[in-house]
Amino acid sequence: MIPCANPLSQYLSHKAEIDSAVMQVLLSNKYILGPEVAAFENEFAAYIGAGHGIGVANGTDALEIAMRALEIGPGDEVITVAHTAVATVAAIEATGATPVLVDVDPFTYTLNAQQLPQMLTTRTKAVIAVHIYGQAADLDEIGAFCSNYGLALIEDVSQAHGATWNGRRLGSFGTISCFSCYPTKNLGAIGDGGIVCTSDKPLANKVRMLREYGWKQRYISELQGRNSRLDEIQAAILRMKLRHLDASNAKRRAIAARYDALIDNPLIERPAIRAQCDSVYHLYVVRSQQRDALMRHLNEHDIHPGIHYPVPVHLQNAYLRRVRTAPSMAVTEALSAQVLSLPMFPELSGDEVETVARAVLAFRG
């Protein structure tokens, strides 16, 4: 059985280190916002190249709290893509703002910046650039649009920890950037976790207050905050995994290079990565007109790919006719029927990669 992702294999490959980091926390008598969280925040922000890191409970909260810190709320609009985890859009709605969804580029599957001007209104406050599958959205185009119109640029880096754009790490370009540390992500906890990064100190202070009841000083709420804390056990695990992040991303890239070389099948399109970007291949997503048949064919070989995502956000029951979309969402809608995420995780063996590639190569529709 070859799964799409396998977080257990990552735990097992660093078991001794993780077990001892967790044991230390258990014996520390500091379980919430202690030294592990503070150290993880500093180490992760330094790794990204941002001035400040603030740990939160998950990636959805990271986005919501980032927007609240930017004072985005009811009556405001935030532009992003429909081709993303539903979390990106759910976070916009959680602030009370209205999501405005645009289509994606047909080659890289990231935000189609040409649609931004037509969706701009006097209520637009920010654009969320989602770096999907491990690769970057076009930060030059989106960044220029945001600075021309005075909008905040929010990066959703939940699928691209460690990826770069012109040599600089994603998450260091936006006004603020948000990461999920869900177990299958490139930097994954063994449970929920997330982190917000920014180089704007007042903004960082506000995020820090919002994640814990609006406190600057204990028990004194100055802002309307909430509870979204990262815990010490997850922070200790994330610190340890951060030390291995570059090595595990290198393994993902090597697997992607093998797939690129071996999968030469006219029925299957391989991923296209922008020249400015060094992808970290959170997912290796192929595209086929015969996606469902390809899925069945691989399942027969005991290979179990994923689909990211089977229904675009704007066509899901919860969002139908409620979110505003660009006039054409054709690429997003086509992708939901055509994308397939092949097994991709650092611990995948060379033999397993060959098995997957051979099975994909043998697909005849």
Ligand X SMILES: *Cc1c(COP(=O)(O)O)cnc(C)c1O
**Sites of contact with ligand X (CB under 6 A):** 58-60, 84-85, 87-88, 130, 156, 158-159, 180, 182, 192, 194
Q: Which residue is nearest to ligand X (CB)?
A: 59
CB of 10 or CB of 88, closer to ligand X: 88
CB 193, min distance to ligand X, A: 7
What is the distance between the alpha carbons of residues 2 and 17, in angstroms, rounded to a whole number?
A: 26
CB 132, min distance to ligand X, A: 6
CB 90, min distance to ligand X, A: 9
CB 361, min distance to ligand X, A: 29
CB 335, min distance to ligand X, A: 15
CB of 177 or CB of 265, closer to ligand X: 177
H helix runs in the chain, sequence order = 7-13, 15-26, 35-48, 59-69, 86-94, 116-119, 139-149, 201-210, 232-243, 245-262, 291-300, 330-338, 350-361
Q: How remote is the C-alpha of 101 from its chain's centroid?
A: 17
CB of 130 or CB of 152, closer to ligand X: 130
What is the distance between the alpha carbons of residues 249 and 228, in angstroms, rounded to a whole number?
A: 28
Could you give the 3-state DSSP secondary structure of residue 284?
A: strand
CB of 87 or CB of 238, closer to ligand X: 87
What is the distance between the alpha carbons of residues 248 and 269, in angstroms, rounded to a whole number?
A: 25
Could you give the 3-state DSSP secondary structure of residue 162?
A: coil
CB of 59 or CB of 343, closer to ligand X: 59
CB 236, min distance to ligand X, A: 18
CB of 242 or CB of 357, closer to ligand X: 242
Q: Which two tokens stand for residue 153?
A: 């640029």
Best CA proximity match to 136, nearest among 107, 164, 104: 164
